[in-house]
Structure 1
Amino acid sequence: MHLLKSLRQSNRDIRILWTSVFLRMAGYGLTNQVLTLYLESLGISEPNIGIFMTLTLIGDTVISYFLTWYADQIGRRRVMMLGTLMMYGSGMVFAFSSHFVVLLLAAIFGVISPSGDETGPFKSVEEASIAHLTPENHRPEIYAFYGLFATAGAALGSLLCGLLVDYMNLQLDYDLERCYRIIFLVYAFFAFLKFSLMLFLTPKCEIYFDAEREEELTEEAALLGETIPELETAPEDYFGLSERTRHLLPRLLAIFMLDSLGYGFMPSAWVVYYLKKTFLTTATGLGILFFITNSVDSISALPSAYLSKALGPVKAILFTQAPSGAFFLVIAFFNNFKLVAFFLILYYTTSTMDVVPRQVLLTSIMPREEITKVMGIVNIGKTFARCIGPIFTGKLAAGNNLRFGFVINGGCVLLADLILATNFLHIDAEIRQKESRDQDIT
């Protein structure tokens, strides 16, 4: 692994994308702390909050589908700028409106994350752009820094939110609803900064097709002793996907969706709600806790690149995700805040260590010209799977049974790992062989 070499070689576009994800996740970290509590302060019931989150995710799925599917035709930079404007608009609506339907429409057609995690078209397009800008031997490190900046942003947003809410509420004597509205204004400001940043991306982020690239892929195929389906110039498929993609993607997608199905039952916003209601945790206490969890989450992105290269991406996913699911599941059985906080920290230490291996897995085995569509399908599928849980989570919360969300979440993760292990371990050898080729970032 060569983190410093990859960092030095990273070009302007890669660094802009790192800063972009930092600002975006800082915004999500802000709103994740207050979204559920803000809706409750407006008199919205817990079951309706669950419905709100489900409909938000459904809307996000539909919009993300169109923007990511046609991103290469529209232009990746344009899609990222459009998504940022949507993010800004939703923040402004949440800051000034109290009407359930208006807020729901803003959440559906704008960009509000009900989970504190990635939402909207950003992630798919950014991941595809990074794959486009980075050779295989540098991708684990470049994606690791991408994950590092993402979770560092979320950590900063969580801490900033907790401190701001308690300062405005306790020192300035603002009521909580007003505090939450101001948080959404800060979210909109982050979106404005992000939009300004997108203006400096270069055309190198866009996909291109030329004879030189085709020759490069042909040489790679000869070196590996295999055929590469992406060289098929006209795949006979309605979706325009090659045979290799049609063979691998559905099976991988089912596994990733099962994992996300469990996550939808207990996203971060409901974890915040559970801690607030069960242990009466203060806003500052929640902010500090999630700053710690996101900080360890951030640091864990770097060793995940090492694990991906040392073990192969599939083994790395299994090595990190299975303990993560177990840590989250056992939280349901503790009534002591310190123990819950301890296992939450363990969970966040390992929960996203599978992200870099998954990015490496998908961008390494799928045709280069289809990566935007592939990443879009995966992220949309994962978002769609998350739509199911919040309806039931709202009912669990209303019946004082929210702790069972931890059990469902952890159980789905462990089952997904079992299926992945029995179907895809053999792919690691192919990917590690590709990564053995020493190339520089241009």
Structure 2
Amino acid sequence: MTGIATEADAIAAKPGTFWLYSARALRGFGDGFAIIILPAYLTALGHDAAAVGIVATASLLGTALFTLAVGLIAPRHDLRTLMLFGAGLMIATGIAFPQFEHLLLIALVAFIGTINPSAGDLGVLVPLEHAMLARGAADEDRTRIFARYSLIGALSTAIGSLASSLPDMLVSAGLTWLGALRLMFYAYAGLGLVSAVLYRRLPHARAEAQSSAPLGPSRRTVYRLAALFSIDALAGGFVAQSLLVLWLIERFDLSLSAAGLFFFWASTLSAFSYLVAAWLAKRIGLVNTMVFTHIPSSVFLIVAAFAPNLHVALALLSLRAALSQMDVPTRTSYVMAVVTPAERPAAASVTAVPRSLASAVSPAIAGVLLMTSLSGLPLILCGTLKIAYDLALLVSFRHVKPPEEAA
């Protein structure tokens, strides 16, 4: 809501919020190891970096299509029912991936499925969860609620990254390498099943639709934000986490277990940065927090491309992780704040879909660039484009204030 929530709304939101946070934790845990397992699985099948980029692109394109569809129909349907559909898609993804070895079939599963090759919070369930969380949230509490949501997601993703070392243990126990990787995908499907159980405990809820059009008076603002977010996502696609794992493995011969350990700490740094972001946004504003934490992180990424050894590269990437995700809860809170309650599901979807589409363009390009003599070029392109995005966002929206800042 754009105004203060009623006491009844706030009380009704609390039980559902717990189950929503719990399901987000399970999804994050699954994404944490799936992001790292995916390139290892493709490499084990004999596919190269370009193939990893193609699969990442297919996944992001599918994410965009399903997210758009869900955002458009959400105002007319029960949010809980749509979340159950998303959990079912997660189950199907984990079961389907181990069944295929041909690149085109794997890309098709990636297109339809829910595994997100990037570290960003994209997917068919994201706009639904955002809309559910925004219900009954007072303006002064909204950013903190989304910061907590992002914190849970990042911490669970970090723990999931550690789980990517399980294939090494399974091989030691007698399984083949491919068999161990396939078992991890089945574990991902199991997490989808438990998520479905949690979503069933959510209250029935519909978006507060006031007209047949998903977007109304805030349409212009949403489209401008979507265009800018797409630049940020295009940049991020060059260092989709699956590709970043591959870069570290191929350039510095990093093991899968070591990669999982690094991304655990990187995700942990990102997680606690969300709480700092909520604190900072109260003092300097949502847009300023997005911009002035993002630019330094992009500089660290560019410098990491020229790192002379693994230790320097990991140190720079860790500094980047501590700053790069502080725009996530602030961006979500900002979008929810500058639209009407009826527009929230569509706004969450419309701002997410161009991000998915744009981020789908760059992984295939990055996969080819990783095979060149300057393998760090995707990192340079990502950092440069992100700085351009931050400056454009600051110029375009520094005067568009959410209710708590306008007051």
TM-score range, shorter chain: over 0.9
1:173 positional shift: 4.2
User: Residue by residue, what CA displacement relative to the aligned partner does 1:160-209 show, whole Å, maximum 9, x if unpaired?
Assistant: 112x022123x224332222111111111111111110110012x42246
Q: Which moved more, 1:102-111 or 1:383-392?
A: 102-111
Aligned to 1:196: 197
- The reply to whether residue 58 of structure 1 matches residue 44 of structure 2 is no
1:95 positional shift: 2.5
- Matching residue within 140, 165, 169 for 1:167: 169
Equivalent position SS for 2:268: helix
- The reply to whether residue 339 of structure 1 matches residue 317 of structure 2 is no
- Matching residue within 307, 313, 316 for 2:280: 307
Aligned to 2:3: none
Q: Distance in 1 between matches of 2:214 and 2:188?
A: 37
Percent identity reads: 25
Aligned to 1:85: 88
**Is the Cα contact below 8 Å between 1:266 and 1:393 reproduced in 2?**
yes
- Matching residue within 283, 300, 305 for 2:256: 283
Aligned to 2:358: 385
Q: Distance in 2 between matches of 1:41 and 1:53?
A: 16
Aligned to 1:119: 122
- The reply to whether residue 330 of structure 1 matches residue 303 of structure 2 is yes
Aligned to 1:353: 326
Aligned to 1:180: 181
**Is the Cα contact below 8 Å between 1:31 and 1:116 reproduced in 2?**
no
User: Residue by residue, what CA displacement relative to the aligned partner does 1:114-159 show, whole Å, maximum 9, x if unpaired?
Assistant: 2243332111111111111311111111111101100011001001
- Opposite residue 295 of structure 1, the aligned amino acid is T
Q: Distance in 2 between matches of 1:399 and 1:106?
A: 28
Aligned to 2:48: 45
Q: Distance in 2 between matches of 1:81 and 1:234?
A: 25
1:234 positional shift: 5.5
- The reply to whether residue 101 of structure 1 matches residue 75 of structure 2 is no
Q: Distance in 2 between matches of 1:299 and 1:283?
A: 25
Equivalent position SS for 2:71: helix
**Is the Cα contact below 8 Å between 1:29 and 1:154 reproduced in 2?**
yes
RMSD: 1.8
Aligned to 1:226: none
Aligned to 2:147: 144
Q: Distance in 1 between matches of 2:186 and 2:404?
A: 44
**Is the Cα contact below 8 Å between 1:131 and 1:139 reproduced in 2?**
yes
**Is the Cα contact below 8 Å between 1:365 and 1:431 reproduced in 2?**
no
Aligned to 1:427: 400
User: Residue by residue, what CA displacement relative to the aligned partner does 1:312-357 show, whole Å, maximum 9, x if unpaired?
Assistant: 1111111211111111111101121111111111111111111111
Change (3 A) 1:113 1:324: same
**Is the Cα contact below 8 Å between 2:238 and 2:378 reproduced in 1?**
yes
**Is the Cα contact below 8 Å between 1:322 and 1:417 reproduced in 2?**
yes
Q: Distance in 2 between matches of 1:265 and 1:34?
A: 19
1:242 positional shift: 2.0
Q: Normalization by structure 2: what TM-score?
A: 0.93
- Opposite residue 293 of structure 1, the aligned amino acid is A
Change (3 A) 1:88 1:116: farther
Aligned to 1:29: 32
Equivalent position SS for 2:183: helix
Change (3 A) 1:234 1:173: closer
Q: Distance in 2 between matches of 1:113 and 1:234?
A: 33
Q: Which moved more, 1:329-338 or 1:94-103?
A: 94-103
Equivalent position SS for 1:273: helix
- Opposite residue 181 of structure 1, the aligned amino acid is R
1:49 positional shift: 2.5
**Is the Cα contact below 8 Å between 2:147 and 2:278 reproduced in 1?**
yes
Change (3 A) 1:398 1:429: closer
Instruction: Please say which structure displays the higher CA radius of gyration.
Output: 1
Matches within 5 A, 1:401-412: 401-412=374-385
Q: Distance in 2 between matches of 1:309 and 1:264?
A: 30
Q: How many residues align?
A: 397
Change (3 A) 1:160 1:429: closer
- Opposite residue 96 of structure 2, the aligned amino acid is V
Matches within 5 A, 1:222-233: none
1:310 positional shift: 1.4
- Opposite residue 241 of structure 1, the aligned amino acid is L
Q: Distance in 2 between matches of 1:392 and 1:413?
A: 17
**Is the Cα contact below 8 Å between 1:312 and 1:431 reproduced in 2?**
no
Gaps of 5+ in 2: 1-9
Aligned to 1:154: 157
Aligned to 1:373: 346
- Opposite residue 324 of structure 2, the aligned amino acid is S
Q: Distance in 2 between matches of 1:267 and 1:246?
A: 30
Aligned to 2:388: 415
Change (3 A) 1:240 1:35: closer
Q: Normalization by structure 1: what TM-score?
A: 0.86
Equivalent position SS for 1:251: helix
Aligned to 1:398: 371
